Copies of this chain bind each other. A is one copy, B any other.
Amino acid sequence: MTTTTPATMAAIGTAARAAARTLALAAPAAKADALRAAAAAIRDGAAVILAANARDLEAARAAGRPGSFIDRLTLTPARIEAMAAGVEAVAALPDPVGATTATWTRPNGLAISRVRVPLGVIGMIFESRPNVTADAGALCLKSGNAVILRAGSESMNSAAAIHRCLQAGLAAAELPKAAIQLVPTGDRQAVGLMLSGLDGAIDVIIPRGGRSLVERVQKEARVPVFAHLEGIVHVYVDKAADLEMAKRLVVNAKLRRTGVCGAAEGLLVDRAVADTFLKPLIGSLIEAGCEVRGDSASVAADARAKPATDADWGHEFLDAIIAARVVDGLDGAMAHIARYGSQHTDCIVTDDAATAERFLREVDSAIVLHNASTQFADGGEFGMGAEIGIATGRFHARGPVGVEQLTTFKYQVRGAGQVRPV
């Protein structure tokens, strides 16, 4: 495999920084035009993209990659159309740059405004999903940021074909080519260089991929990272829950898609209603195709449940498996979540408003839900239009990261000659 040299990466960083300065001041219409032109180029280039993807798929099959990997890598006409439509949807979002988010006037007459500005240069490191090329490219461009995309070596042909369509969009709107760059190889050395920040050229790293990638990024990065390591998501069914609602929510939270970070991994049932709730809740999951690993009460309620081991609590299954147990009411549930959760997304099912409010206030997760499926943990579902990822950090980007979260701000102060007294 060829590698990308430090000199090449430094040149990419320098070009990105220069492009970022232009992009920060680009007219909203130019960015939207570029995205619409890119979407058209993706549609027009569907056959070329599919041919490139076929080469990636052939290599992946020859390398004996598992079916889940092949599925993430595979593009179809429908997936390409969805990608183009996604880019158009980002084009149609309100432009976040330049928006004034607060204004106030001081007693001395100074008028202060807080105004959104782009972050700068974003380093996006991803693995097998080639559509991230288009999604991340579109979100970064919309938010006025230059982006350096580093695709995995297995999806390089597909990513390069999509990248050419984004380049066509930039050219159509006369925006700098370096606004969206693709690292030419998928080697690990390029990742290491990006994590070093390319001598100040990268402002933030966003990894999209498996746990080992995110772990490496969080460990090695010398620049800020927007990421979550894992989504240990819980649903707590309170004694005041509507049982039918709880069954529906738990099954959706666990099984709608099992591989997403908002998928439930733990079911907590209030001891006060365990006798009546445990059997139907566990039965619903099992009958929907889920393996339940439960505490002794859960196994006693439904013999099809398997005994849980200590390793099952706080485990991210990302599969049709859930860990289930009885807890001592709201406080027991919150103690379990504090111990085993990952501060990502947690949910309470209850008809008691005071209990719900305590849960929403006291559980220290980026997203806390009352009577709604945890699978709503998603920028699109939040109304952000699209997301580049979900972050569990405590700074800046927390929860879904959409175009607004890809900006920072500055203060503009307008005066009439005021000087500061001693």
Contact = CB atoms under 8 A, between A and B. Distances in A.
Interface stretch (A38-46, A104-112, A152-160): A104-112
Given A106-B383, A364-B117, A396-B395, A371 B416 contact: yes
Nearest to A421: B256
Given A361-B25, A376-B420, A398 B394 contact: no
Nearest to A105: B383
Contacts of A24: 364
A256 B422 contact: yes
Interface of A: 21, 24-25, 98, 104, 106, 110, 112, 117, 119-120, 203-204, 224, 242, 245, 248-249, 251-253, 256-257, 338, 356, 360-362, 364-373, 375-376, 378, 381-383, 394-399, 408-420, 422
Nearest to A20: B364
A372 B395 CA distance: 31
Contacts of A368: 410-413
A410 B367 contact: yes
A112 B380 CA distance: 13
A98 B98 CA distance: 28
A303 to B, nearest CB: 28
Given A252-B419, A365-B410, 4 more contacts: A25-B362, A204-B395, A372-B413, A373-B418
A250 B305 CA distance: 76
The 3 closest A-B pairs by CB, nearest first: A372-B415, A252-B419, A395-B396
Given A120-B394, A396-B396, A412-B368, A417 B249 contact: yes
Contacts of A245: 417
Determine which residue in A98, A249, A382, A420 has the highest number of CB atoms from chain B within 10 A of its CB, and name it: A420
Contact of A398 (B382, B409, B412): B409
A45 to B, nearest CB: 29
A414 B256 contact: no
7 contacts: A248-B417, A369-B414, A369-B415, A370-B415, A371-B418, A373-B415, A398-B410
Contacts of A370: 412-415
Contacts of A106: 381-383
Contacts of A252: 419-420
Given A373-B418, A373-B419, A411 B396 contact: no
Contacts of A396: 395-396
B411 A382 contact: yes
Contact of A367 (B365, B394, B411, B415): B411
A98 B371 contact: no
B104 A248 contact: no
